Structures are given as structure tokens and as C-alpha cells.
């Protein structure tokens, strides 16, 4: 199989190497896009019968490829990929904190905004390291789940007025956002004074007047071989190939 790679990081390089080896005897063409996939990829020379593998395809690009008869496989829709990628993201975040914090995790009060795949994995790792954690979530069901485990939680600003709740960041040393929506408000900047804020989600989710650190593409930057194998595994499964070995 002819493989055309449009990714610029080490994750794509690792994935490309694995795919070239596994698919060397298969006919056809595979377009391997960057993670996340950008709309500029519309310029690629893809034709009917080709395969396109990417992550979070822009709708315009996915439509354009489909119109050309290209089979599109989006890793953003694959639970197996998402779960494994969330673990790598959480692990890399914990490692970053261990390297950059001046106090041990057991001395920190850490807030986690969002309790999806990344939030769950991050909470598990931080609790294992001894941190005291508070989770901010819009789901009352998740709050009950956390409470049953003895974990403090609070409502996210998404529904706190509707539910009559008031979210407070008091007592936090560190706040980590994993939610893809803006759940921190400008008026909360003063409350976050002195709190280290880390952004894991993509997009403009934190008000400009709140200093924060953005940790983007952590799996590719921290564990490129693992991330590359994960991406290649998804591509092989999408093609109906055996992913192991």
C-alpha cells in the first residue's frame, strides 16, 4: 500500500513506519493525517478507493473526501483510541507536574475541571500520587459517583445557577482544565489569584486575564512511540487488518 503522511510530529512518523511494514503487501493508497487533522488537508490528491485516517476531521474536509470516493476513518469516533489516548494524556500531565512542582503531590490541593475520559484518568493518577483532589463537573450523577468514593466535587459554571450551586476555587494550589468548553469565568480571575492553572483541552477555554500553561499534544510530545503505535493500531483496525504484532 502506498502511504502518504501529512503529520509533522513523531507520533505520525512512528505510525507511518508501522503501517508501511504491516501494509507493504496490500494494494491501494492510505492518507495519514496529523492529529488533530486540519482543514488545509483538502488540498491532498486523494481519489476514489483511497483511505484517509485522521483525528477530528473538519466536516468540510470529511465531506470533500467522501465526495471524491475516499473512505474516511476518524479516530475521534473510536472509543478504544480515545480511552488509550486519555490515559497517555493523563500520565504525561502527572509526569509534568512531578517535574515542575516544588511540592510533593501529597501537599497539593488540585482541582480538575471535567470528568470525562481524561478527567477520570487524571484523577486516578493524582489520587495514587497522594494529592487531595476536587472535581468540577456539570453532572449530578457523576457528583454522586464521586461522593460515594469520598472525593470532593463541585458544579461547573455550566449549570451552577440553574442548580443553585456556587463553585469555589478556594484552597486550591493547582487547577487543571480538561473540559472542551469555557467553564472558567472572567469574574473568577481574582479567586484564582495564586493558583497554578493548566489547560489540557484545545480551544480558547480560559479568560485572557488568567495566567495559565497550555499543555498541547501531550501523547505525541511525551510518549511519541506509544502514541504512534496507538494511532497505527486504529488505522489497521479501520482497514480491517490485524493490529497486533
Dihedral sign, CA of 114, 217, 181, 41? negative
Domain identity same for 101 and 59: no
CA distance 110 to 224: 27
Domain identity same for 205 and 97: yes
- Does residue 37 register a pLDDT over 60? yes
Q: What are phi and psi of 221, to 5 degrees?
A: -80, -40
Domain identity same for 97 and 166: yes
Domain identity same for 185 and 132: yes
CA distance 80 to 30: 21
Q: Residue 17: which residues within 8 A CB-CB, separation 6 or more?
A: 228
- Does residue 162 register a pLDDT over 80? no
User: Which SS3 state, helix, strand or coil, does residue 68 take?
Assistant: coil
Q: Indicate the pLDDT class of residue 212, thresholds 50, 70 and 90.
A: very high
Domain identity same for 72 and 88: no
Domain identity same for 88 and 157: yes
pLDDT tens digits for range 82-109: 999 999 999 999 999 999 999 999 999 9
Residue 103 lies in a domain: yes
Taking a C-beta distance cutoff of 8 angstroms, is the pair 117, 82 a contact? yes
Residue 136 lies in a domain: yes
Domain identity same for 89 and 204: yes
How many separate domains does the chain show? Answer: 2
pLDDT tens digits for range 44-89: 888 899 999 999 999 988 998 999 999 999 999 999 999 999 999 9
Domain identity same for 31 and 144: no
Give 4's DSSP letter. E
CATH of the domain at 191: 3.40.50.720
Domain that holds residue 194: 83-214
Residue 243 lies in a domain: no
Domain identity same for 18 and 117: no
CATH of the domain at 42: 3.40.50
Domain identity same for 200 and 227: no
Residue 245 lies in a domain: no
Amino acid at each position: 500500500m502506498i502511504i502518504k503522511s501529512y503529520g509533522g510530529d513523531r507520533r505520525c512518523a512512528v505510525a507511518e513506519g508501522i503501517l508501511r511494514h504491516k501494509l507493504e503487501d496490500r494494494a491501494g493508497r492510505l492518507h495519514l493525517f496529523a492529529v488533530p487533522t486540519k482543514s488545509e488537508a483538502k488540498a491532498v490528491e486523494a481519489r476514489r478507493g483511497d483511505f484517509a485516517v485522521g483525528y477530528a476531521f473538519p466536516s468540510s474536509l470529511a465531506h470533500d473526501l467522501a465526495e471524491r470516493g475516499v473512505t474516511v476513518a476518524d479516530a475521534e469516533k473510536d472509543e478504544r483510541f480515545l480511552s488509550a489516548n486519555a490515559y497517555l494524556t493523563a500520565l504525561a500531565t502527572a509526569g509534568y507536574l512531578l517535574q515542575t512542582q516544588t511540592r510533593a503531590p501529597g501537599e497539593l490541593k488540585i482541582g480538575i475541571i471535567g470528568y470525562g475520559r481524561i478527567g477520570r484518568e487524571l484523577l486516578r493518577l493524582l489520587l495514587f500520587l497522594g494529592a487531595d483532589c476536587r472535581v468540577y463537573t456539570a453532572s449530578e450523577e457523576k457528583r454522586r459517583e464521586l461522593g460515594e468514593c469520598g472525593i470532593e466535587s463541585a458544579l461547573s459554571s455550566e449549570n451552577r445557577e440553574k442548580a443553585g450551586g456556587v463553585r469555589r476555587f478556594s484552597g486550591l494550589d493547582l487547577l487543571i482544565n480538561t473540559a472542551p468548553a469555557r467553564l472558567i469565568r472572567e469574574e473568577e480571575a481574582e479567586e484564582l489569584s495564586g493558583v497554578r492553572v493548566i489547560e489540557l483541552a484545545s480551544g480558547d477555554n480560559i479568560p485572557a486575564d488568567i495566567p495559565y500553561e497550555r499543555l498541547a499534544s501531550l501523547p505525541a510530545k511525551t510518549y511519541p512511540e506509544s502514541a504512534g503505535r496507538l494511532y497505527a493500531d486504529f488505522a489497521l483496525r479501520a482497514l480491517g487488518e490485524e493490529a497486533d504484532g
